[in-house]
Amino acid sequence: MRGNDSNLRVGGGARSAAEPAQRDASRLPVWPWVNWALALSPVPTAAIVMLFALGAVMSTDGCSDRSCSNLGRGGIDFGVAFYGAPVVAFVVSIISFFTAKRRRGIVVPLCGWALLLADVVLMAVTVSS
């Protein structure tokens, strides 16, 4: 080993200008993409909830006071259950616009999913005989 080559490394090689960009592109954070996917997922879910609500109400079409006596006014209002789903999806999308870039931004879509699930459960319990 010569004295003037003491700073030489093996395998160091010359780097091109594009190499650091390729390394940074492979390390993109996954959380914003997951948050955005979850933020937009309540929109089709709300459509499915609305279809379920229509089916649940249509299943009670043949009911009368004698055959379905448990379907009185004790249940939830159909308007709240039916129109609440798109409102939840809209609010989740708007709030997620501001929180999706944050690591804990996943909480907003999960709360929206919980509200939509509660809507389905309440509708199912209300119209079940």
Q: Look up the pTM and report it.
A: 0.67
Cα separation of 33 and 65, whole Å?
51
Residue 14 lies in a domain: no
Residue 62 lies in a domain: yes
Residue 3 lies in a domain: no
Both tokens of 129, joined, read: 């005989």
> What's the mean pLDDT in 35-53?
88
Per-residue pLDDT tens digits for 76-111: 677 888 888 999 999 999 998 888 787 788 889 999
Domain count, the chain: 1
Kindly report the CA angle at 24 between 101 and 18, in degrees rounded to 5?
Answer: 140
Q: Which domain holds residue 83?
A: 29-127
Cα separation of 29 and 11, whole Å?
29
Residue 7 lies in a domain: no
Residue 112 lies in a domain: yes
> What's the mean pLDDT in 56-63?
74
pLDDT of residue 65: 63
